Chains A and B, each alone.
Chain A
Amino acid sequence: MVERKDPSAFEVLYDRHGGAAYSLAYRIVGGPEAAEDVVQESFLSIWRSGARFDAARGSVRSWTLGVVRNRSIDALRRQSGKAPKLDFDDDATLEAQPSLELTDSEAIRRETASRVRGALRQLPEAQSEVIGLAYFGGFSHSEIAEMLRMPLGTVKGRMRLGLEKVRLLLAEGMGIHDSSEALP
């Protein structure tokens, strides 16, 4: 739809994924203005390039958020000396939001967020730390190894163990019931 340059389809894309995109960008770049810049830049790049979505690569949401994540990491790298926020503990802020102000889709987003955070919170700190540094901080495994002063193999091992655990917990708690539920 976006490939055909249909502005209504583009608007639907933004309405469905703009909130999640903004939340992700905010988390990575750490502020509302920079996050809005990143989201605008990301969606415009999707619009202007007539970017082709390949269904084989996953959902439209994952694809859109992948674009936003890459742009956010780029923006973060441009902001010299600004460290990303790396904790997963956002529940207090969320609970402070008056629920009456939430639309249905926002409520679902926040419910999902809460479950995913629950799964992440069950990880040992060492595993969630390397996952957060890589995904939200945009650091490579070798940068993380240097930063945490640990062998590269340990960093990669922790990433794998953490992700496998999250995957199993999500399958258990979020209805991801398919043939690949168990570790292949």
Chain B
Amino acid sequence: MSEHREYRDELAAYTLGALSLPEKLEVERHVASCEDCAEYLQWLDPAVALLPASVEQRTPTAGLKRSLMSEVNADLKAEKRATRDRKRAEHGLWASIWRPVTAGVLTVVLVAGLAVGYFVGGNDPESVFFEAESSDRIGAQMEVTLERQGEDGTLHIEKLPDLPPDTDYQAWIGRGSDLLPAGTFDVRQDGEVPVEGSLEGADGVYITREPEGGSEEPTLPVLMRAPLSE
């Protein structure tokens, strides 16, 4: 007999998608730490998974597949075209570099650029990397590194779990007891996200899940924390 039997009504509503976002996230948080409820949820899943099969089974028109595959093939063509154009542009650049006159001009520009870069860019702050720590089960699935370059920060993200509809990931800059909004994001695949705001005086960068568009202050627990100390 489960000691969390009273929680089962919530779990049933959760599997049917009948909870509001805060309730849904609360259930997820509870299930992450409650073996009994996780087991019950897993047991209930097949019933909900089969609900789509209860409807009248219909056959879509052949035109739907044609249209879908035509979009897919158009996407592939566009990607190939973009790759080809990129390669051509690179090839064209190198070809022009080898032209003697152009090469002479570019050499002058390059030397000038390096000189300017030495004097101006020589003071660019170096990148320092901080590994983020996970705060819960969802955060544990992600791999996040914060790159700090002076006052600027970039989150390098891998294995970001897909979000439920109507939610975004949101970054926060921590200063003392305050968490300041630093931009929302939904990186579908691995990627980089700039931290919006200065890291001057900050003691960490945090990530939460928030309702779509983000929040003024965190409404849900922190998933990841990247402390700004080496």
Contacts and interface: CB of A to CB of B under 8 A. Distances in A.
Given A90-B56, A113-B56, A116-B50, A131 B16 contact: yes
Nearest to B9: A156
Contacts of A7: 69, 72-73, 76
Given A39-B60, A44-B71, A156-B9, A134 B55 contact: no
Contacts of B165: 70, 74
Judged by DSSP, the binding face of B is helix
Contact of A50 (B2, B65, B188): B188
Interface string A91-105: 001100000000000
Interface stretch (B40-48, B102-110, B148-156, B210-218): B40-48
A113 B55 contact: yes
Contacts, number: 175
Contact of B19 (A44, A106, A140): A140
Contact of B53 (A20, A134, A144): A20
Given A7-B69, A40-B64, A139-B18, A163 B55 contact: no
Interface string A49-75: 111101000110110010011100110
Interface in A12-40: 14-15, 18-20, 22-24, 26-27, 32, 35-36, 39-40
A76 interface: no
Interface of A: 5, 7, 10-11, 14-15, 18-20, 22-24, 26-27, 32, 35-36, 39-40, 43-44, 47-52, 54, 58-59, 61-62, 65, 68-70, 73-74, 88, 90, 93-94, 106, 109-110, 112-113, 116-117, 120, 131, 134-136, 138-142, 144, 153, 155-157, 159-160, 163-164, 166-167, 170-171, 174, 176, 180, 183-184
